[in-house]
Chain A
């Protein structure tokens, strides 16, 4: 079974721009979660989608949004980028979102200049 894939792997943007990151979960997994990883704040939960519905949301500003499609693929959007948004964005999928294992993708490294 193919693992979680994320595209693109690397991205460079400038302040004020917006960006969309994509995540394809493991086949059959219906839950997709997003995390932001920075040296200062560590790993922080952004949001989780299950069957196209956002079920849980972390403490991030409204500039961070996401969605999930009927095939369980998910996108994350960040508008009006700030320097502090530079981070590794990780996507994880699980089959149901219960205390099931979350499988992580390789991440998208976003650099904001």
Chain B
């Protein structure tokens, strides 16, 4: 079974530019989550999809962040325009319906905004 795939693995962009991160969950997993770890701090929840619907987006920091999950398969997280404080590692995770926290995580995308 293929795991959760994220790309790119690294991205360096200038302040004000746009970046799109992609996550391919495990096939058949209804739940898809985005998390972010800012350097040295805790990993924080951003949002949760159930299939194509946003179940909870309470962790999204501001309206510069837009997440989509078209057709309930892969998901994208767009940051537009990027700011310096957006730098960090963005993790995606997926789980089957009804799972209590035991997700499978991807390797993360390290985003650096300069």
Query: Are A and B genuine complex partners?
Result: no
